[in-house]
């Protein structure tokens, strides 16, 4: 097997919280604890876990938006958090992110064309003609029209806005797309369309997804492999069909209980809460 596109090695992140009073020690939260996994190019890895389990923290560390407290993120052989600034900027062109909120993540004052072209202009200084062409292609790839370029985000539905966000993520032809709860803000009927689109884009362009969701059913649709996070740690990993039929960890069973048609709620499972150090 070839070298993985993404290697996450013993990643840890602690956050310092505000002191309760002047002489108190600052409490800390271990948001991620000893997380390791690999992701092969062209595959999709799901990260599931309840709110507060560390999913978004993992996304930010993989995107090199903030430094880890320990461990490494290696993308295509590059130790991201050890790179000098300029090299990190170049490495970032291989990474794009799709966020949860299709309303908040698009600037209402910028046209769709400007929004989708932005990563291109920032990363490569592409000419206007080239930008227009690439934007047209990206909009077409996500099932919108090139003429939508001139419109503004408020003219689109939630699902369409998420398509715009995906077009924006695709435009640099990234090797890895980190999607943090990309369909959680959408109506259930629209969720399936956006998930199908993401699947289709993977088949067509071979993109690799790190796909984050609190919803096991969503991850099941898109991912080949799933990691279950609980209190910042990996408690279970496997193909989604195995997690669905034979979950090993009580917390995975609890997540399944939240899936419509899933098994009932098991007893005696501790409630997840952030651990203080």
Positions in the binding site for ligand ADP (CB under 6 A): 15, 17, 29, 31, 49, 51-57, 274
Cβ contacts of residue 89 below 8 Å, gap of 6+?
123
**C-beta of 218: minimal distance to ligand ADP in Å?**
14
Closer residue to ligand ADP (CB): 112 or 229: 229
What sign does the CA torsion over 205, 209, 213, 219 have?
positive
How far apart CA 130 and CA 174 sit, in angstroms, is: 17
46 binds, among Mg ion, ligand ADP, none (CB under 5 to 8 A by kind): none
**C-beta of 7: minimal distance to Mg ion in Å?**
22
Closer residue to Mg ion (CB): 52 or 113: 52
**C-beta of 229: minimal distance to Mg ion in Å?**
10
Q: What share of the chain is helix, strand, coil (3-state, %, to 5)?
A: 40, 25, 40
What burial letters (b/e) apply to 120-149, b meaning 16+ CB within 10 Å? Answer: beebeebeeeebeebbbebbebbbbeeebb
Residues 46-75 that bind Mg ion (CB under 5 A): 55-56
Residue with nearest beta carbon to Mg ion:
56
Cβ contacts of residue 5 below 8 Å, gap of 6+?
39, 40, 41, 75, 76, 175, 176, 208
Q: Is 184 in the site for Mg ion (CB under 5 A)?
A: no
Cβ contacts of residue 86 below 8 Å, gap of 6+?
none
Closer residue to ligand ADP (CB): 113 or 232: 232
**C-beta of 87: minimal distance to ligand ADP in Å?**
26
199 binds, among Mg ion, ligand ADP, none (CB under 5 to 8 A by kind): none
User: Total binding residues for Mg ion by CB under 5 A?
Assistant: 2
267 binds, among Mg ion, ligand ADP, none (CB under 5 to 8 A by kind): none
3-state secondary structure of 160: helix
Contact residues: Mg ion, CB under 5 A: 55-56
């Amino acid at each position: 097997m070839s070298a993985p596109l993404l290697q996450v090695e013993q990643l840890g992140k602690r956050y310092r919280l505000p002191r309760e009073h002047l002489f108190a020690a600052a409490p800390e939260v271990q948001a991620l604890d000893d997380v390791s996994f690999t992701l092969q190019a062209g595959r999709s890895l799901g990260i599931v876990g309840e709110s507060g389990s560390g999913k978004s923290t993992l996304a930010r560390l993989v995107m090199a938006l903030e430094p880890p407290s320990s461990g490494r993120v290696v993308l295509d052989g590059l130790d991201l958090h050890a790179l000098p600034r300029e090299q990190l900027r170049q490495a970032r062109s291989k990474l794009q992110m799709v966020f949860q909120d299709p309303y908040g993540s698009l600037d209402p004052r910028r046209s769709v064309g400007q929004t989708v072209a932005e990563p291109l202009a920032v990363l490569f200084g592409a000419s206007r003609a080239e930008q227009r062409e690439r934007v047209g292609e990206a909009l077409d790839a996500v099932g919108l029209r090139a003429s939508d370029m001139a419109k503004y985000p408020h003219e689109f539905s939630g699902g369409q806005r998420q398509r715009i966000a995906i077009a924006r993520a695709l435009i640099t032809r990234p090797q890895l797309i980190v999607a943090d709860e990309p369909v959680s803000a959408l109506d259930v009927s629209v969720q399936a369309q956006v998930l199908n689109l993401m699947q289709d884009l993977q088949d067509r362009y071979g993109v690799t997804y790190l796909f984050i969701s609190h919803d096991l059913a969503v991850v099941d649709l898109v991912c080949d492999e799933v990691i279950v996070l609980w209190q910042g740690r990996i408690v279970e990993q496997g193909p989604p069909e195995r997690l669905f039929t034979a979950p090993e960890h009580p917390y995975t069973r609890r997540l399944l209980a939240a899936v419509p048609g899933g098994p009932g709620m098991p007893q005696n499972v501790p409630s997840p809460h952030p651990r203080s150090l």
